[in-house]
């Protein structure tokens, strides 16, 4: 074993940032920024009693950080050249000005200034946006269901996170491995007693306690698993989409995904009380106005916007179209006259 290898192993054993810096080919100062930015996962990063930064290294720590750094760089590029060219974005009904943002940190600061809580600002800013690939038909259908129920992907994700936190006190693997009904009931009863034996300040709220009691009162493993899936199945529990609507929406998402995307964006504009315009739709889809028209075409955009426009607005558009056509006719007439002269 070489001297350098021995030194490297010692750095790893002590949890020093030097080891990660040497493996990534970066300076310790750069790796320190990665540590502070959260690019090193929380279970692996910690501070000593004296406040020094340390890393608990595992076999995949270096590769995980390498992927996280690459993702963060590419995401910041997306923010700088795509999102940063849009004037504003909306998150949970709050409008966040994003023009000129170059990084996730910039988005976080703008979100906080706009009034979002630390948690919402974190969810808004610190997520991967690499390439923002085109949504699949299933994703478009899900977006349609969300907008029909006046909810959003972020709210759905928050609901699932909240539900996971509520169910985190249940040792799922330990319960579902027990096939004997009597043994299952004994384990479920022990889990319920452990939950109830907590101090008052550590008990979940009454609604969560009722949910846990119902789940743990099932008579055997099979009924427990069915109840667990019933609680955690979001589309059945929250969205309540009937079979006909579900099938029709998925069929349309497969046959006309672009048009359905535009209609979903238009419905979001109406729910947020924003004016039905191409610029507003471009911001909703997180693209520039030019990209929107090049990709979808003017007719498809106007067809989508027509479903949310009121009569007064439609009449105004009609007058504008007639005025534009009349102006073109006058221009052509003058051109013919000039050539005739």
Residue by residue, pLDDT tens for the chain (341 residues) are 445 578 888 898 899 999 999 988 889 998 998 888 778 876 678 888 888 899 988 878 888 888 888 878 877 777 777 676 677 787 777 888 888 888 888 888 999 999 998 888 887 887 766 555 567 777 788 788 778 777 666 666 666 666 667 777 788 777 777 678 888 888 888 888 888 877 555 667 787 888 888 888 888 887 887 777 666 654 444 456 667 777 888 888 888 888 898 998 898 888 888 888 888 888 788 777 777 888 788 888 999 888 887 544 444 444 455 455 555 555 545 544 544 44
Q: Find residue 97's DSSP bridge partners.
A: 88
Are residues 232 and 272 located together in one domain of the fold?
A: no
Are residues 163 and 230 located together in one domain of the fold?
A: yes
Are residues 163 and 229 located together in one domain of the fold?
A: yes
Q: 236 near 145, Cβ under 8 Å? A: no
Q: pLDDT for 31-75, tens place per residue? A: 998 888 778 876 678 888 888 899 988 878 888 888 888 878 877
For 292, the domain range is 256-314
127 found inside a domain: no
Name the residue with tokens 């006046």. 150
Are residues 226 and 188 located together in one domain of the fold?
A: yes
Are residues 271 and 199 located together in one domain of the fold?
A: no
Gap between the Cα atoms of 292 and 301, Å rounded: 8
* Of the residues 214, 239, 264, the one at which a domain ends: 239
Q: What is the pTM of this model?
A: 0.40
149 found inside a domain: no
Are residues 182 and 222 located together in one domain of the fold?
A: yes
Three-state DSSP at 49 gives coil
Gap between the Cα atoms of 214 and 60, Å rounded: 40
250 found inside a domain: no
Are residues 331 and 260 located together in one domain of the fold?
A: no
144 found inside a domain: no
* Of the residues 239, 268, 296, the one at which a domain ends: 239
Are residues 232 and 167 located together in one domain of the fold?
A: yes
Are residues 306 and 319 located together in one domain of the fold?
A: no
Give the total number of structural domains in the chain: 4
Are residues 336 and 279 located together in one domain of the fold?
A: no
Gap between the Cα atoms of 306 and 319, Å rounded: 15
Are residues 308 and 332 located together in one domain of the fold?
A: no
110 found inside a domain: no
Q: pLDDT for 207-224, tens place per residue? A: 788 888 888 888 888 788
The angle that helices 181-196 and 221-232 make with each other, rounded to 10 degrees, is 50
195 found inside a domain: yes
* Confidence at residue 16, expressed as pLDDT on a 0 to 100 scale: 92
Work out the mean pLDDT of the chain and round it to a whole number: 76
129 found inside a domain: no
71 found inside a domain: no
Gap between the Cα atoms of 117 and 64, Å rounded: 29
Q: Find residue 29's DSSP bridge partners.
A: none
């Amino acid at each position: 074993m070489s001297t350098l290898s021995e030194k490297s192993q010692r750095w790893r054993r002590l949890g020093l940032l030097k080891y990660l810096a040497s493996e990534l080919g970066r300076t310790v100062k750069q790796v320190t920024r990665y540590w502070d930015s959260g690019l090193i996962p929380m279970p692996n990063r910690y501070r000593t009693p004296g406040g020094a930064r340390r890393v608990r290294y595992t076999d995949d720590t270096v590769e995980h950080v390498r992927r996280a750094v690459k993702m963060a760089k590419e995401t910041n590029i997306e923010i700088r050249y795509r999102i940063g060219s849009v004037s504003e974005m909306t998150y949970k009904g709050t409008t966040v000005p994003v023009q000129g943002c170059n990084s996730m940190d910039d988005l976080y600061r703008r979100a906080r200034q706009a009034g979002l809580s630390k948690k919402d600002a974190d969810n808004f800013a610190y997520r991967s946006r690499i390439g923002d690939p085109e949504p699949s038909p299933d994703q478009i259908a899900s977006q349609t269901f969300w907008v029909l129920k006046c909810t959003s992907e972020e709210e759905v994700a928050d609901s699932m996170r909240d539900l996971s936190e509520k169910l985190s006190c249940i040792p799922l693997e330990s319960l579902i491995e027990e096939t004997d009904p009597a043994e299952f009931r004994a384990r479920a009863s022990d889990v319920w007693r452990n939950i109830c034996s907590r101090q008052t300040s550590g008990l979940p709220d009454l609604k969560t306690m009722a949910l846990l009691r119902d789940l743990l009162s099932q008579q055997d493993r099979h009924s427990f698993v069915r109840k667990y899936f019933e609680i955690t199945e979001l589309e059945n529990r929250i969205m309540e989409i009937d079979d006909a609507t579900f099938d029709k929406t998925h069929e349309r998402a497969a046959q006309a995904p672009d048009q359905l995307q535009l209609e979903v964006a238009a419905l979001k504009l109406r729910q947020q009380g924003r004016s039905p315009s191409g610029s507003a739709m471009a911001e909703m889809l997180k693209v520039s106005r030019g990209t929107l028209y090049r990709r979808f075409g003017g007719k498809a955009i106007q067809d989508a916007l027509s479903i949310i426009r009121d009569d007064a607005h439609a009449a105004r558009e009609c007058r504008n179209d007639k005025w534009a056509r009349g102006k073109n006719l006058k221009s052509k007439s003058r051109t013919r006259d000039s050539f005739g002269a």
